[in-house]
Amino acid sequence: MPGRGERSEPSAGAGEKPRTGSGARADGRSAVQTPSGLPVAPFYTPGDVDTDAYATRVGRPGAPPYTRGLSADGYRNRPWTIRQYAGFGTGAETSGRFRRLLDDGQTGLSLAFDLPTQMGLDSDDPRARGEVGRLGVAVDTVEDLAECFQGIDLDRISTSMTINAPAPVLVAMYVVAAEARGVGRALVRGTVQNDVLKEYVARGTYIYPPGPSLRLAADLIAWCARETPRLNPISVCGYHLREAGSTAVQEMAFALANALAYVDAVLALGLTIDDFAPRLSWIFNTQSHLLEEVAKFRALRRIWADLMRERFGARDPRSLQLRTHTQTGGSTLTAQEPLTNIVRAAYQALAAVLGGVQSLALSCYDEALGIPSEAAQRLAVRTQQVLLEETGVADTADPLGGSYAVEALTDGLEQRARSLLAEVERRGGAVACIEAGWMQQAIQEEAVLAEQALADGRRRVVGVNVAVGPGGPEPAPVPAFRVDPGLEAAQLERLARARRDRDPVPARAALHRLRAAARDPAAALMPAIVDAVGARCTVGEVCGTLAEVFGRYRAPAVI
Residue 558 pLDDT grade (very low, low, confident, very high; cuts 50, 70, 90): low
Task: State whether 391 and 519 are in the same domain.
Answer: no
Asked whether residue 420 falls in the same domain as residue 530, the answer is no
pLDDT score of 101 more than 90: yes
Domain boundary residue, one of 456, 483, 516: 456
Q: Is residue 382 part of a domain?
A: yes
User: Could you tell me the pLDDT band of residue 557, with boundaries at 50, 70 and 90?
Assistant: low
214 pLDDT more than 70: yes
- How many of the other CB atoms lie within 10 Å of CB of 476? 17
In a domain, 21, yes or no: no
Asked if residue 271 and residue 349 are part of one domain, the reply reads: yes
- pLDDT for res 21: 37
In a domain, 36, yes or no: no
- Domain assignment present for residue 35? The answer is no
Of 552, 462, 539, 557, give the one whose Cα is nearest residue 122. Answer: 539
Q: Answer with the one of 456, 474, 492 that is the final residue of a domain.
A: 456
In this predicted structure, the answer to whether residue 207 has a pLDDT above a threshold of 80 is: yes
At 67 the three-state DSSP class reads coil
pLDDT at 3: 45
Whole-number average pLDDT of the chain: 92
Helix (H) or strand (E) holding 296: helix 290-306
Structure confidence at residue 396 as a pLDDT band (50, 70, 90): very high
Nearest to 243 by CA among 336, 119, 363: 363
pLDDT > 50? residue 18: no
- The answer to whether position 469 is within a domain reads no
pTM of the prediction? 0.92
Average pLDDT (21-27) is 41
Boundaries of domain holding 516: 500-550
Average pLDDT score over residue span 177-197 = 96
Give a yes or no: residue 462 inside a domain: no
In this prediction, residues 20-30 reach a mean pLDDT of: 42
pLDDT above 70 covers a percentage of the chain that reads: 94
pLDDT: which is higher, 217 or 478 = 217
Check residue 17 and give its pLDDT.
Answer: 38
pLDDT at 477: 73
Per-residue pLDDT reduced to its tens digit, 479-523:
778 888 899 999 999 999 999 999 999 999 999 999 999 999 999
* CATH code of the domain covering residue 159: 3.20.20.240
Please indicate, yes or no, if residue 28 is contained in any of the structural domains. no
For the segment 292-320, what is each residue's pLDDT rounded down to a tens digit? 999 999 999 999 999 999 999 999 999 99
Q: Residues 442, 525: one domain? A: no
Same domain, 422 and 512: no
Specify the pLDDT at position 154: 87
Note the pLDDT tens digit of each residue in 442-490. 999 999 999 998 999 888 999 999 988 777 777 667 777 888 889 999 9
Q: Which residues, 6+ apart, have CB-to-CB distance to 547 below 8 Å?
A: 120, 207, 208
Dihedral angle of Cα 425, 431, 433, 435, to the nearest 10 degrees: -160
Angle at 545 between CA 508 and CA 4, to 5 degrees: 120
The pLDDT score that the predictor gives to residue 20 is 40
| Residue 108 domain flag | yes
539 and 408 inside one domain: no
**Number of domains within the chain:** 2
Amino acid 535: pLDDT: 98
Question: Across residues 529-537, what is the average pLDDT?
Answer: 98
